[in-house]
Structure 1
Amino acid sequence: MRNLFKQNVVYTNLAIFYLIVSFLTRLVLLFHPITQSKFSIVEISKIFGLGLISDFLIFILIGVILWLYLIFLSNSKFKKPYGYIILGVFVALLLYIISGKSILSEYGGVLPEIGIAFVGFKTIFFAAILFTDKYRKSIRLALFSLTIFLFVLLIIQNAVSEFFFWNEFGVRYNFIAVDYLVYTNAVIGNIMESYPVVPLFASVGILAFAATFIIIKKSKSYLEDLPNFPSKLKIIVVQLLLLGSALLILPSIASQQNSSNVFANELQSNGLQKFYKAFTNSELDFFEFYESLPQEELAQFDTIIGVNYNQNSTSITSNGKEIKKNVVLITVESLSEEFMKHYGNHNNITPFLDQLAEESLFFTNLYATGNRTVRGLEAVTLCLPPTPGESVVKRKDNKNKFTTGSVFQSKGYSTKFLYGGDAYFDNMQDFFGGNGYDIVDKSSLNPNEITFSNIWGVCDEDMAKKAIQVMNDEAKTGKPFFNHWMTVSNHRPFTYPEGKISISGTAKSREGGVMYTDYALKQFFEMAKKQAWFKNTVFVIIADHCASSSGKTELPMDKYRIPAFIYAPGFIQPQKVDKLVSQIDIMPTVLGILNFKYKSKFFGKNVLKTNYIPRAFIATYQDLGYIKDGVLTIISPQKKVKQFDLIQQKNETLGTNYSIIYEEKPKTKIDVKLRKETIAIYQTASHILKTKKYEK
């Protein structure tokens, strides 16, 4: 074993460097001014003793990448004919990606460019080493040095990031760090404005160069005497044993973070392990990071919230007879209000939806709760305000909830979730299947039913035809049905069948994606109108979220405004509802139209009732917003509260129902009533989820 590590001196030296940096990071965080705590001898021993073991085990896990790189360093692969064969494979792979027909191109974005850059880099330097015996050692040393530099840079950069994260939150990485990774542009902008970036990055670069120089100097012998094949086999065996041991021991080490002193637990832990845990758990504890109210003070908000903090249910009654019509809910991918003619778009990319809006109960002032599909699905299914972290859809505790589906099931309906992609994506299959929905996704279609597909699934037309087939089969059973269809075509890479609309699918444009989805919805309704069940069906069309969420403020309201319609010719009279409405209100409104009587846990309201009080919720993973009375209140981690006066901006080209664009002007004095109301609502939602009181 000792000889193996001596032979693989590169791995050993990088491991030592990582452990030193981790130790120094712990030491700095221990004496940081924010660490206002005293530690016992036992706690100090665990912080540095168990912390060291934890760091070593984490390095074993992340070091797998380094092991693989070192294992594939070889002289024999440059010998004839192997070198030419390998080079041919690289060239073929590069040409395949450049051709635009690879899976990277199908997805779109910057992935093709990244693939071309990476494979092109490998191809050029492999050829350089293959054809230049004289400079082979120098080229290999340069590439080797670059690889080690990247590892060193990431280790130092992680330590610096941990310092700044601790400086802001007083903890190791949590879901906020995951949030920062998602909102990279906003985070980089914040760093640029908050810190002396040039000196900071320059210092990190100098440290990385210096550390790389020392490690290369001590490790250069590895290149001069690369392990032979039998030695590499032994190294692989040792690597697998270490990997298995690390996976087995780490949970036990983590369980020792059991001090009553939170700082002691955080310092003992490893930041990368905490980041991984946050990424997989997808939650952020409201009661740890947000301002909260005493429980006795929450009772005054029961009427506003609609549910009690501890006994969260209320009776929904109606004077009319229950109407058992079929309900089809269509959530449209990334349908911002700005795409529609009603809201000022003159490109005519949603002609069908613009027409449908005039024939429907049209909500002109409605806001999505978030900016991800899973947030939209959560809003229309759970009718619950967004809580910190990921959507409930992606959490482990996401089953047997009180949902729109469970209300329909209690009334004798069959319930289905239809999705043109693979339902396992974004945990949709687990969520909807775990809440009693039957799943109809891409795997349910026969090959002859698929005319076009991309990385996200079959085109919306194909799914529309499948939906009609499913609903025809359901109608034959004599039971009413509730079907929820999530579209996919208005999503990068924005590809769709040719010849359907005026914008070619090869253009891969957002406008084309919107226009094709509009076209597919038109085909769906034309087919639906020919079916016997059409006249007995209520259709709900609503966006899952907007196409973009970036703006000048934490929660730019225009990036959350979405269209929504309830369409049932002969049953629901066309009408424009210009009240402020939340995405979570749509399905309780539909249930109200049907005169359903049920015990509700929904936070969403029937907006057609005379006692409805206009308000809406918008949020990111950590900033939770509440819109009411012309004020946007935002609560954030570190118990921060901000408020903005919403000053309406005039738009002469649009009607008053559609031109609700606001300047968000920071309030100089916080409205205490709205602050408490915001906290009470989000605190109650977080509490009932945490205590499992949102079960059906």
Structure 2
Amino acid sequence: MLKKIFATRFKLLAIVYLFIISVSFLTRLVLFIKSFSQIDPNPLQIIGIFLIGLLNDTLMSTFFLIPFVLYLWLVPNKIYFKKWHRFILYGLCLLAFTILVFNAVSEWFFWDEFSTRYNFIAVDYLIYTTEVIGNIWQSYPIVKLIIGIVVLSILVLLFTKKYIKAEVTNRISFKYRTLITLILLLLPVLVFLFGSNGAKQFSKNQYASELSGNGMYDFGAAFINNQLDYDKFYKTNSVNAIFTTVKKDFIANNSQFQSDSSTSITRTITYPGDQKNYNLIMISVESLSGDFLSRFGNTEHITPNLDSLANQGLFFSNLFATGTRTVRGLEALSLSLPPTPGQSEVKRPNNEGRFSLGNVLKSKGYTTQYLYGGYGYFDNMNYFFSNNGYEVIDRSAITNEKDIHYENIWGVADEDLFTLAVKTFDANYKLKKPFFSQIMTTSNHRPYTYPEGRIDIPSHTGRSGAVKYTDYAIGKFINDCRSKPWFNNTIFVIVADHCASSAGKTELPIKNYRIPMIVYAPSIIKPSTFNGLTSQIDIPPTLLGMLNVSYTSKFFGFDIFNTPANLRRAFISTYQNLGYYKGNQLIILSPQQKVEAFNVDSTNFTTTPIKSLPALEKEAISYYQSASYLLHHRLYQFKK
């Protein structure tokens, strides 16, 4: 039967399938060589990479071949067997070859940036085509790459031409074409219904697992699973049990629950004395890994201004970001909320009126703002912040082109953003009200471009230059602020949104979530270092504590200076793996109700698998499940 089918027009599918797995194998081999030092020298693991990889390549091919199947089904015999028709087949194959080669090149650059196959980041990027295409155009030699891809695809076509045009010995009627087509189309349906890319999680080494994946197939899985229902995919406990667990941690000397409802975490936070109406300026810095600072051992000296400010202010040395994207950092810094699975709350629908730092301070008489150097429609920032207690000021507020020294697809240079910020703060001061403003920088992002002559590293040469330029811009901003009448009454908070890279051998490499935070206010805060474990979601309540603000709270974060060491914990995540780090132990919750436990080396943050820790597992489930519950039932809302 198969021999007869391969003697028909459907043999073209075999040619394209062989090309799919050949390109996929070569892509995997190149990425394997690039990441060889990160892979355990285990023959079985290496075999698994390529065998499971072949399986994933085959599953992907069932979808990729659908247009060919439909074409071979619908074209009548009288057209298919015309000599001129072979040129249509050449064109179809050339298009398929070009797409596959283009994808292979794209996977190389995506792996180089994120050390992973396509994932939810790629899905997000698909939405914002203007910024993403602009970023790619500014970062890579696109014209040369496209020419190279087309030339290579043509060469492949010339090599396979004789197989494509080879005479088909069996004509096949529409009836039998339909039968074969139904069988072939059933395959992607079965893969969609029952298949998954979960087979690639065969190894504890995350590099090995990612190498065994297929980029296109993983992209589809990420697209489908971009929103994950916690109760459906993760291990759960009863609603009463989870809220009982988290509410125990919220009991403190200065807090009192407002309701006896089992699902309410609303409580009154009271500080003795008057509210301190200091201005609060939070600079959330794009991709500022802790490892960039000399405090964490960096020897490149690319953050001289931040290093100096760290010595002059309050430095947090054991702070961890909640996620791997800017929107996760913004979520933590505004909502003080654990990173629930799937997309960040910043980008979800119906995210208006959430309990936010902006809403709290606005209710306390503050002017509250969010400043961004790009256009705030990106990542839904304009909508989220404007509907959660902030006035949004973005790139469109800079109307004088003389105020722009440089800009790329992401926005104006950081120094120009800070110039806009200073003008905004001068205007705020005239209102005779305290102000809270969050600034989101953009320059430390590929293509790593900035004005020439500012630092000793040329623009567009890599991450180190971008970090040093952002450091320069922050230093200049602080110096510009010193002469302002509002400076001595202002607390500056400099914190990363996330690390530059979260890739590692394990699913959640803790070290790659460690970020710096500096609280600088020479007239208010004495220089010191806080070494206690801190989560990014602890920052909003901690800052409110510094301001001595008494308020009604729904925050999941703690005022870290009023929290016993035994209660401190951190949340780290990808879009589907949820980590709970406490007392040198880590719990990871994953889909399919999977729970893993690890010991964490406090020196180098390496992890060792251990048996389940029931108490810690219960806490992890309780925090993530209760946060998801409150969002889903719209109970995390701000009420004046």
Q: 1:188-199 to 2 correspondence within 5 Å?
A: 189-190=208-209
Asked whether the equivalents of residues 206 and 507 of structure 2 are also in contact (C-alpha less than 8 Å), the reply is no
Q: Deviations over 1:313-349 (max 9, x none)?
A: 1111011210111110110011111000111111110
Corresponding position: 1:107 with 2:148: no
Q: Which residue number corresponds to residue 592 of structure 2? A: 638
Candidates 318, 322, 334, aligned match of 2:287: 334
2:232 partner letter: E
Candidates 448, 463, 468, aligned match of 2:402: 448
Q: 1:234-273 to 2 correspondence within 5 Å?
A: none
Q: Structure 2: 5+ residue runs without aligned partners? A: 1-8, 17-61, 75-83, 85-129, 166-183, 252-256
Q: Which residue number corresponds to residue 674 of structure 1? A: 616
Candidates 247, 259, 262, aligned match of 1:302: 247
Corresponding position: 1:689 with 2:631: yes
Q: Deviations over 1:378-423 (max 9, x none)?
A: 0110001110001100101221101000011101111111111111
User: Which of these two proteins has the greater Rg computed from alpha carbons?
Assistant: 1
Flag the 1:478–1:139 CA change in 2: closer, same or farther, 3 A: farther
Q: Which residue number corresponds to residue 576 of structure 2? A: 622
Candidates 230, 233, 241, aligned match of 1:286: 230
Q: Deviations over 1:346-400 (max 9, x none)?
A: 1110000001011111111110001110000001100011100011001012211
Equivalent position SS for 1:345: coil
Q: Which residue number corresponds to residue 584 of structure 1? A: 537
Flag the 1:353–1:277 CA change in 2: closer, same or farther, 3 A: closer
Corresponding position: 1:404 with 2:357: yes
RMSD: 4.4
The whole-number CA distance in structure 2 between the counterparts of 1:691 and 1:510 is 42
Q: After the TM superposition, which of the residue ranges 294-303 and 487-496 deviates more from structure 2?
A: 294-303
The whole-number CA distance in structure 1 between the counterparts of 2:185 and 2:139 is 25
Equivalent position SS for 2:369: strand
Asked whether the equivalents of residues 393 and 431 of structure 1 are also in contact (C-alpha less than 8 Å), the reply is yes
The whole-number CA distance in structure 1 between the counterparts of 2:137 and 2:239 is 48
Q: 1:371-520 to 2 correspondence within 5 Å?
A: 371-446=324-399, 447-507=401-461, 509-520=462-473
The whole-number CA distance in structure 1 between the counterparts of 2:615 and 2:407 is 51
Flag the 1:106–1:424 CA change in 2: closer, same or farther, 3 A: closer
Q: Which residue number corresponds to residue 165 of structure 1? A: 195
The whole-number CA distance in structure 2 between the counterparts of 1:573 and 1:103 is 42
Flag the 1:690–1:566 CA change in 2: closer, same or farther, 3 A: same
Asked whether the equivalents of residues 625 and 633 of structure 1 are also in contact (C-alpha less than 8 Å), the reply is yes
Matched positions, count = 503
Equivalent position SS for 1:608: helix
2:576 partner letter: Q
Q: Deviations over 1:629-675 (max 9, x none)?
A: 221111111111111111233xxxxxxxxxxx2221111x2111111
Equivalent position SS for 2:580: strand
Q: Deviations over 1:447-504 (max 9, x none)?
A: 2211101111100001011100011111111121110000000101101110100100
Corresponding position: 1:537 with 2:490: yes
The whole-number CA distance in structure 1 between the counterparts of 2:322 and 2:446 is 22
2:301 partner letter: N
Flag the 1:493–1:316 CA change in 2: closer, same or farther, 3 A: same
The whole-number CA distance in structure 2 between the counterparts of 1:191 and 1:633 is 21
1:574 partner letter: P
Flag the 1:501–1:155 CA change in 2: closer, same or farther, 3 A: farther
The whole-number CA distance in structure 2 between the counterparts of 1:541 and 1:337 is 12
The whole-number CA distance in structure 1 between the counterparts of 2:132 and 2:330 is 27
Q: Which residue number corresponds to residue 658 of structure 1? A: none
Q: 1:600-611 to 2 correspondence within 5 Å?
A: 600-609=553-562, 611=564
Flag the 1:363–1:155 CA change in 2: closer, same or farther, 3 A: farther
- Following TM superposition, the consecutive aligned residue runs of length 4 or more in structure 1 with deviations greater than 6 angstroms are 102-106, 123-127, 138-142, 154-157, 185-188, 271-277
Please, what TM-score do these two structures have when normalized by structure 2?
A: 0.70
The whole-number CA distance in structure 1 between the counterparts of 2:605 and 2:454 is 37
Asked whether the equivalents of residues 340 and 624 of structure 2 are also in contact (C-alpha less than 8 Å), the reply is yes
Equivalent position SS for 2:140: helix
Q: Which residue number corresponds to residue 117 of structure 1? A: 145
Asked whether the equivalents of residues 315 and 599 of structure 1 are also in contact (C-alpha less than 8 Å), the reply is yes
Equivalent position SS for 1:439: strand
The whole-number CA distance in structure 1 between the counterparts of 2:70 and 2:486 is 60
Flag the 1:434–1:398 CA change in 2: closer, same or farther, 3 A: same
Q: 1:118-267 to 2 correspondence within 5 Å?
A: 118-120=146-148, 122=150, 162=192, 165-166=195-196, 189-190=208-209
Equivalent position SS for 2:456: coil
The whole-number CA distance in structure 2 between the counterparts of 1:484 and 1:559 is 24
Q: After the TM superposition, which of the residue ranges 373-382 and 308-317 deviates more from structure 2?
A: 308-317
Candidates 586, 608, 615, aligned match of 1:665: 608
Flag the 1:167–1:465 CA change in 2: closer, same or farther, 3 A: closer
Q: Which residue number corresponds to residue 356 of structure 1? A: 309
Shift of 1:604: 0.7
The whole-number CA distance in structure 1 between the counterparts of 2:310 and 2:153 is 58
Q: Deviations over 1:1-44 (max 9, x none)?
A: xxxxxxxxx9xx99xx9xxxxxxxxxxxxxxxxxxxxxxxxxxx
Asked whether the equivalents of residues 421 and 488 of structure 1 are also in contact (C-alpha less than 8 Å), the reply is yes
The whole-number CA distance in structure 1 between the counterparts of 2:605 and 2:427 is 47
Please, what TM-score do these two structures have when normalized by structure 1?
A: 0.64
Asked whether the equivalents of residues 497 and 505 of structure 1 are also in contact (C-alpha less than 8 Å), the reply is yes
Equivalent position SS for 2:605: strand
Equivalent position SS for 2:552: strand
Shift of 1:595: 0.8
The whole-number CA distance in structure 2 between the counterparts of 1:536 and 1:294 is 47
Q: Which residue number corresponds to residue 553 of structure 1? A: 506
Q: Structure 1: 5+ residue runs without aligned partners? A: 1-9, 18-54, 68-74, 76-101, 130-134, 143-153, 170-176, 202-270, 650-660
Q: Deviations over 1:195-253 (max 9, x none)?
A: xx9xxx9xxxxxxxxxxxxxxxxxxxxxxxxxxxxxxxxxxxxxxxxxxxxxxxxxxxx
2:423 partner letter: Q
Shift of 1:695: 0.7
**Seq. identity, %:** 41
Q: Deviations over 1:516-556 (max 9, x none)?
A: 00000011001111111111111111000001111111111
The whole-number CA distance in structure 2 between the counterparts of 1:363 and 1:383 is 17
The whole-number CA distance in structure 1 between the counterparts of 2:270 and 2:151 is 70
Flag the 1:285–1:449 CA change in 2: closer, same or farther, 3 A: same
The whole-number CA distance in structure 2 between the counterparts of 1:352 and 1:112 is 30
The whole-number CA distance in structure 1 between the counterparts of 2:336 and 2:502 is 21
Equivalent position SS for 1:633: strand
Q: Deviations over 1:44-75 (max 9, x none)?
A: xxxxxxxxxxx99xx89x999xx9xxxxxxx9
The whole-number CA distance in structure 2 between the counterparts of 1:110 and 1:453 is 11
Q: After the TM superposition, which of the residue ranges 638-647 and 104-113 deviates more from structure 2?
A: 104-113
Flag the 1:494–1:122 CA change in 2: closer, same or farther, 3 A: same
Flag the 1:629–1:479 CA change in 2: closer, same or farther, 3 A: same
Flag the 1:161–1:565 CA change in 2: closer, same or farther, 3 A: farther
Equivalent position SS for 1:570: coil
The whole-number CA distance in structure 2 between the counterparts of 1:287 and 1:512 is 44
The whole-number CA distance in structure 2 between the counterparts of 1:396 and 1:408 is 24
Shift of 1:162: 3.5
Q: Which residue number corresponds to residue 70 of structure 1? A: none
The whole-number CA distance in structure 2 between the counterparts of 1:569 and 1:63 is 70
